[in-house]
A and B are shown apart, each in its own frame.
Chain A
Amino acid sequence: MKLKLLFILLITFSSQAIFAQEGIISGTVNDGEFNDVLPFANILIKGTTKGTTSDFDGKYVLDVEPGTYTVTFSYLGYETKEVAEVVVAPGAEQIIDITLNPLANALDEVVVTTTVSKNTEASVLNLQKNSVALLDGLSIQSIKKSGASDIASAIKSVPGVSVQGGKFVYVRGLGDRYTKSILNGVDVPGLDPDRNTLQLDIFPTNILDNIIVIKSATADQPADFTGGVVDIVTKDFPSRAEYSFSAGLGYNSSMHFKNNYLSYDGSPTDALGFDNGQRDLAIPQNIETPLPVVDGNRSAALTRLLEPNLKALEDQSGADFNIGFTAGNQYNLNEDGTKKIGYLASLTYKNSTEFYEDVVSGQVFRKEDQDKSVLELTDDRTQSGNTGVNNVLISGLAGISFKSLQSKYKLNVLHIQNGESGASYIRQDNFNVNSNTIFKDVLTYTQRSITNILLNGEHTNEDASWKISWKVSPTFSKIYDKDLRTTPFRFEPETGNFTISPSESGDPSRIWRDLEEYNVASKLDLTRKHQLFGRDAKLKFGGAYTIKERDFVVNQFSTPIQSQAGNFSLNFEGNADLILAPENIYNPETREGTYVRRDSNISDSFNSQITVGAGYVGDEFKLSDRFNAIVGVRFEKFDLRYSGENQDGEVFDNQSILDKADFFPSANFIYDLNEEANKKLRASFSSTTARPSFKEASNAQIFDPVSSTFFIGNIDIQPTYVNNYDIRFEAYGEGTNFFAVSGFAKTFDDPIELTFIREARGQFIPLNLGDAKVFGAELEYRRNMDFIPGWENFNFNANISVIESQQTYSEDEEAARIDNLRTGETLDEFRQLQGQSPFLLNVGFSYDNNDNGWQGGLVYNVQGKTLEIVGNGDIPDVYTLPFNNLKFNLSKEFGKDNSSKISLKFENILNDDIESVYQSFGAEDQVYSSRYPGQAISLGYSYQF
């Protein structure tokens, strides 16, 4: 039935498409002098009178009869470019983005001739080439080419970028504290409250205009990034009526259609990314839970309010699938087309299922305490089991834009809805602190939603010498952990008995965590073209104000078992679903059974507010024909206020925790080494900051039942200040051929790291550690294979980053390390920065044939061994081992105007697993965690009309 519906939809859409007869040529004209668009440039179909001018966004659209054309782009004082062999099919769109370079001598007439296919890829590089700041752009064309269906997989081709867990982007291997992701130039809270970066797999590629990764700061960028800013820019509207439909299926042989997949009965609306209320807080916050000896009836009544299903049930797993629609169009509001209104809407649904068998997590191995000559590690806790996770993601975007000759207004509404339901059955064996065997059923559900509204206006004057841009963007985000259920049974191998044994393994527990954050970002940017040293220059200045507020509330309950003469929990026989079965709930007559107890910690909950006010000024100017510079300074006033209470009853009521006012200077230089401007040398300096998160700069003492650890907030924490130095040589060859080598250094004052407390195992606190340094080198190489005859459609692409990081130890850490050195081991002066990869490597081969519609790619990426957890005393450091990821994708466009596309992807061809290990001097590595992602095949279909 589903297929039938789909078929009908297809037919309907296809028949609509037949009506479009004229084709169009559209694109963006860029200014080669500044890294900006070129408004009011002339676009002409050669040999005709048909033409248009680019709007103030540099965008243009030309309606033409089907045929083959040469298109001329020109602007006063700039070179003229002719693009030949522009084939326009009926109803089709031919995109030509072009960059015009200024002429040194205005009297010269230079005509550069190129072809469409050569121009397309080259325009991707243009942005990068012309930018004075160090940046990498990823246009929508190149994303599509990489076969990626979301940004996270596309962005890996940018040098120095790595993606963790398919979601989080890191630049230059620096931890996520030092990478910032923004949406349309403004801050948006992420789905993961404890990270600074936005989760990227939530954005379908079809709503994107481009992604820009900025690695060196300029004054107009926020000061709180170090590794890089990833700016995700969504489309305004398409240049013509455009509708698309896509569907995909993914199959992973180790995860899908497995009969032992684990899940639990959730709410019927789980498949829509939200819980219908079934998992809502069972016992309202104002209700006390009495001891059963005090009020047995009430205790039992409250206990009955809890959902009784606690067991991870075996069930068959489904496969991954996704479906998406986009629609967009633009309409002329007046005859000459200078006033336009357009819209873009997209809706995506993704349902993915993961199943990990024998996943190992949180194992504990120790160094021998008694005899330091023993090098091998001993096991203290082993833990493994099966975990099933179903993830539903729905994202909807609707945008409406109005453009006139000198103004543009854009209103965008984005909503992302995500529900993640998990079930695990885990065996834990303890050997040291406790000595026991525990079986745990763990059921989780996390519901996330983000609603972001962007209102944006851009204005220019008649000669485009002034440009004003403003943005107001409120975001509401909600993350609810709803009714996390953990049921630990202690198992006695000798008797085969299962008992609830609170002092060995804890009581069964239920947790609700509500995080609500609202965020309003606003920005005003002004650009003024002027003359400096007799040359064109661009002055940029403006301000920004962001306010963020977060509420975090935890409700936590246990369900202990009251026994009389015997152990009542023996009745459950290890079946978690019996714990809250009606017959086992506390009975005031027998004074036995399960009852509910509130365990909430006031110290878990808090409310925080951050405000950042910023002002900047910067000038982009030329010192000579070949020497460009951007020099600027940014001022930021950062305030963090906190309300909360710690376990000692110390109360903070909207108290100022951080109040910083800083100047952040930056300077970027670019020097053309030759006349053709295809060999460049860049250098930059900037000072930036890394600020503690809400949770870190708090008084909160948050217990994590999953890892059994405490997070202790640090109310005295200070921001980190970073100095960044970059130098880079670039050589641009023909087409997309490109070579670059760069070096960078960063010095960190008071870097923040989540660190252990020596005296308190299992408690972690963010601290300002001793100073750190990071040095690195990057190499990037892109080459078309046309030097081999017949290989013109093949491209080779490689980039590698090598990074050395040096972190000095905290006092506690150094003492603990010295006390636990093995015989013959010495302590290094520094260690790696936590989360910093020592190297990153991406290598890819791609095939792209515009004529027959075939595209393909083989991509390999790997990241060096990374310090994941800093060891504590006799517990050694944990390192994430390299995951060798080899992927292959193949796609074919076909049908009328190549409007259909089928793509096929294979992931993890090398069949690697994801593993972290304990490493200690002279000892064999021991597993901390390991899971096998399986090998996935996915098939996608998309249709554009």
Chain B
Amino acid sequence: MKKIIWSLATVTAIIAAASCEKETVVEIEKEVIVVDTVTTETEVETSITVSEDIVTDVTWTADKIVTLDGRVFVSEGATLTIEPGTIIKANAGSGVNASVLIVTRGSKIEAIGTATAPIIFTSAADNIEIGETAGTNLDQNDRGLWGGLIVLGNAPASFDGDAESAQIEGVPTDTDGDKGLYGGSDSADDSGILQYISIRHGGALIGEGNEINGLTLGAVGTGTTVDNIEVVGNVDDGVEFFGGSVNATNLFVWAQGDDGLDIDQAYSGTIDNAVVVQGGISDHALEIDGPEGSLQGGFTLTNATLIGLVDNVENGEIADYRSNAQGTSNNILVTNFTGVGTDLQLSDVELDNEGVAANYTAGSLVFTNWEIVLPTGVTASSEVFNDTTDSTTFEADAATFSSAVTEGTVGADTSAFSWTYANTKASLGF
């Protein structure tokens, strides 16, 4: 009953009290405004700023830092060429203000770096300079400082409700065109070349619950070349494949906020030689979903090394196979994950639901040659394999397709990653 009736006297008193609080806030605001005048940015002479869509062929050269400001589309028909050693610094912002480079359907990116002169996408806050491969003021825990790199293609993808194409998450539909769409019927589609590229500190929110992945590949076709890619400190996933058929080799992900490699919508290409190194807030090293619509397709993942944080109380997981996942996971080495003990929850390889369990039984989801460096308190490799539905022989079969090792004999050829920023920064010894 206490809140039922107000007398006029209390109301007056309250208004008086409230106006005092208001003043305090105003003072703080003033203080902030004063601070505002102190931080003025100085122009870097050797830089260009890109904020408009790329509608004709353009080349970004290594002698200038490219500042990416806001959402930039490479429009249909245009090719963006990026020279080796080029540093792209993206401005901060989220939502529509997030700096994102989107290579749309029918356009191309020719970004060919080298092991000594990789192409670097990083935050404007990074103090890296022309000619360097790393700055000094940021680390793998600085995430979400800009958006990410998105490549959209015309290859098939399997969508909910069986649409042929879909709008990439977080980009509102444009009533004038279809710039955000991906998916089509050309599995050999060519979106260009991505080689020796390092993507750092990205993953800003682009729409609610839609943080950008480091590298998003939406329905990218086999005509596209994707190899030697590094993603460090991204809020969302490292590399996510939404359908498509592109083959990718030498992928490296470190300290992502969500999943390392993520597969969805019937991605049907091959990922060969990949490493995921988990960070403090990482979720799954692998998160694998299947087709959403009736179009079917399975992935191939081969020669991967998944490195956890030993006994991480926050429970980073090894792998989650979900919904309708189908494909083959072969030659996988799992090491340094969390084991069993006080406050510890065993990191596992999981069949998440009945759909994926049925695929396992039907033979459309295949596991071969897994090696596990046993975590604390675990005595057999099969213990890390978990069928949450308990409807398959997955856990029993794990005794055959996996083995416990102290040093791996399968997994990635880590020498391919000696060029990476992470290798130096985290002293990985690759």
Contacts and interface: CB of A to CB of B under 8 A. Distances in A.
Interface of A: 1-2, 257, 267-269, 271-272, 276-278, 280, 282-284, 287-288, 290-291, 293-295, 298, 301-302, 304-305, 316, 318-319, 321, 351, 366, 369-370, 372, 431-432, 434-435, 492, 494-495, 497, 499, 501-507, 509, 556, 558, 560, 562-567, 570, 591, 597-603, 646-650, 701, 703, 705, 708, 710, 712, 714-716, 757-761, 763, 765, 816, 819-820, 872-875
Contact of A716 (B2, B11, B175, B209): B175
Interface in B283-309: 283, 291-294
A566 B314 contact: yes
Given A294-B125, A504-B258, A558-B205, A267 B18 contact: yes
A304 B173 contact: no
Interface stretch (B110-118, B164-172, B396-404, B408-416): B164-172
B208 A506 contact: yes
Interface stretch (B88-96, B368-376, B420-428): B88-96
B237 interface: yes
B323 interface: yes
A298 B175 CA distance: 39
Main secondary structure of the interface of A (DSSP, over half): loop
Interface stretch (B139-147, B224-232, B245-253): B139-147
Contact of B71 (A495, A647, A760, A763): A647
A503 B31 contact: no
Nearest to B161: A873
Interface stretch (B22-30, B59-67, B327-335): B22-30
Contact of A757 (B31, B173, B280, B292): B173
Interface in B127-184: 137-138, 141-142, 144-145, 160-163, 165-167, 171-176, 178-181
Contacts of A280: 22, 25
Nearest to A6: B5
A648 B353 CA distance: 40
B18 A276 contact: yes
Nearest to B212: A503
A305 B11 CA distance: 26
8 contacts: A269-B11, A287-B33, A294-B92, A558-B205, A567-B281, A599-B94, A760-B173, A875-B161
Contacts of B209: 434, 502-506, 708
A70 B2 CA distance: 54
A860 B53 CA distance: 60
B18 A318 contact: no
B39 A295 contact: yes
A268 B235 contact: no
A398 to B, nearest CB: 20
A494 to B, nearest CB: 5
B315 interface: yes
B315 A761 contact: no
Given A294-B125, A714-B175, A816 B32 contact: no
B173 A503 contact: no
B160 A873 contact: yes
B322 interface: yes
Interface size class of B (residues with CB under 8 A): 35 or more
Nearest to A761: B160
B96 A305 contact: no
B161 A820 contact: yes
Contact of B125 (A293, A304, A505, A558): A293
B395 interface: no
Given A271-B11, A283-B29, A318-B4, 12 more contacts: A278-B22, A293-B123, A293-B137, A305-B25, A305-B28, A435-B320, A502-B236, A566-B280, A566-B281, A647-B71, A715-B175, A758-B161
Given A560-B144, A708-B209, A873 B163 contact: yes
A277 B205 contact: no
Given A278-B21, A301-B28, A563-B280, A712 B235 contact: no
A293 B171 CA distance: 27
B341 to A, nearest CB: 13
Interface in B1-45: 1-7, 11, 14-15, 17-19, 21-22, 25, 28-29, 31-33, 35-36, 39
Given A302-B32, A601-B96, A712-B172, A435 B322 contact: yes
Contacts of A278: 18, 21-22
Contacts of B22: 276-278, 280
Contacts of A503: 203, 209, 211, 235-237, 257-258, 283
Given A502-B235, A601-B96, A757 B167 contact: yes
Contacts of A759: 163, 165-167, 173, 178, 181
B81 interface: no
Given A494-B315, A648-B174, A759-B181, A301 B31 contact: yes
A295 B21 CA distance: 27
Contacts of A272: 6, 11
B1 A701 contact: no
A760 B169 CA distance: 8
B68 to A, nearest CB: 14
B270 interface: no
B162 A369 contact: yes
Contacts of A351: 4
B324 interface: yes
A874 B283 CA distance: 29
A761 B207 CA distance: 12
B311 interface: no
A268 B1 CA distance: 17
Given A760-B180, A816-B161, A318 B15 contact: no
A45 to B, nearest CB: 47
Contacts of B137: 293
Given A305-B25, A370-B294, A370-B324, A647 B96 contact: yes
B345 interface: yes
B379 to A, nearest CB: 21
Interface in B170-201: 171-176, 178-181
Contacts of B181: 759
B272 interface: no
A410 B292 CA distance: 65
Contact of B345 (A271, A494, A715): A494
A873 B294 CA distance: 12
Contacts of B32: 283, 287, 298, 301-302, 305
Contacts of A291: 92, 123, 125, 145
A353 to B, nearest CB: 8
Contact of B95 (A562, A601, A646): A601
Contact of A432 (B94, B294, B323): B323
Contact of A276 (B1, B15, B161, B180): B15
B352 interface: yes
Contacts of A497: 314-315
A710 B173 CA distance: 9
B164 to A, nearest CB: 9
Contacts of B211: 502-503
A564 B161 contact: no
